[in-house]
Structure 1
Amino acid sequence: MKEPGRPIGVFDSGVGGLTVLQALKEALPREDFLYFGDTARVPYGGKPLAMVRRFAWEISGFLLRQGVKAIVVACNTASSAALPDLAEDLSVPVFGVLEPAARVARAHGKVGLIGTQATVESRAYERYVPLAWAKACPLFVPLVEEGLWDDPVALLVARHYLEEAPKDLEALILGCTHYPFLKGTLRKVLPGVRLIDSAEATAKEVAEALAREGLLNPHGRGEVVHYVTGDPESYKNLAERLGVRVEVLKRVSLEEL
């Protein structure tokens, strides 16, 4: 039985998925959302894919118990590790962030990728788009989680990671939902290169799929409930620095997953 009035679940290892959440809210202003940030276990990128897969199943199970009608895996590492298994086995529609970004990238010639160690080593993006260059950037997620996306240290780290990028690179996939917060820094290092993040493309795909399935909410109020596994106050402070208003915030212990 279809229940379009239920919320949409969105999850990430931390605050990175808020980029996707904001795009979803713009594309679907009448939908309500549950956002889950696994802040006690961030970052995911240096962890084995089997472990990240377990995390994704735990969080998806929690969101299903809260009554969501769809799940958006707003994390490249978790998408690399757990899709398409989640999509095949769960009782609600499941969306990842890899294929929407790759679809945009295919319109360009020479495409590069930056992402977490796990995402780059999984070669998951290469199922969807040929890559001219790929680089793991493990320090970017901690920089964002510490609120240092505009700090001079972020520029130093970006120059270090991107110094070997091909000179004729046309587009760069930001293969982690934390990375869009670093766009200003990345543009200083790679001027003229199109930076592709998955948020807008993912939101468009989710909106179109919910419309096809008759799952759009005609009566929602655009409310968001945030769940975190780490310190709620730290999460709220960082989210609001990123421009995301947090009105309802709940802590979930790992034992509850």
Structure 2
Amino acid sequence: MKIHLDYLHLNGFIADTIDNFATQGHIIQNHRNEIKIFEYQTNKFVVKSFKKITIANRIIYKFLRKSKARRSYENALRLLDLKIGTPFPVAYVEESSGLFLKNSYFISCFMEHETADRYLTERPDAPFLEAMGAFLYNLHKKEVFHFDLHTSNILTTKDHKGNFDFSLVDINRLKFKKPTQQRRVKNLNRLFLPFEQYSILISKYAEMAEFDVFSFAHKQLYQRKKYQVFKRLKILYKDLYKKYVAPVISRNTHKEAID
């Protein structure tokens, strides 16, 4: 367990939270990973449990690579040093069993927010898209690339002057690299937005980066189409695997166990 110096007094609360994670807390997401909100005194904390760790990754995360929880914690500290918004990291916890990493958890402070995808569903206005384009430009300028860049992983708040502030979550897959134009284009392709919204965002991005807007937009849209085709093929492969390959492997494994 690693706890931030400002939150060492929560050692007991954090230990109890992890011990009772399965039965307590308010669920806000339970898909690939499970995310819950826990309250302590007058404060709220977000606890993310990373699930579905393969046997190979249990060994890799134990000895060769940092766990997703640890990467989330360390990446959050780095983002805050760069003046990039993200929920403040409180702690990460790793549970091991022998040679394997069994479970890992990332704990952060709760932020009042609205996700960018929800905002765009209700109010798809140009000022917001331009502000998000400027935020993403600033992100890349500071050599930060989010490899799970979706509007659901961008949080937004609005100050009393009507200005938008943005923060990043789900940050275990950050990379810190020089912002070449190719990297910028590929990273922005991960945003799935309607064409009209996407055009406003990348036009603002290109303006901030002092790129030729039409040239950059052409490259962006071409690469976006390629990425969408790749994603569809990946989904098709997974569906075919589940339907045809997985049942065969299961039957053969069962047969070998009987023999």
> Could you state the TM-score of these two structures normalised by the residue count of structure 2?
0.28
Higher strand share: 2
TM-score by length of 1: 0.28
Structure number having the greater helix percentage: 2
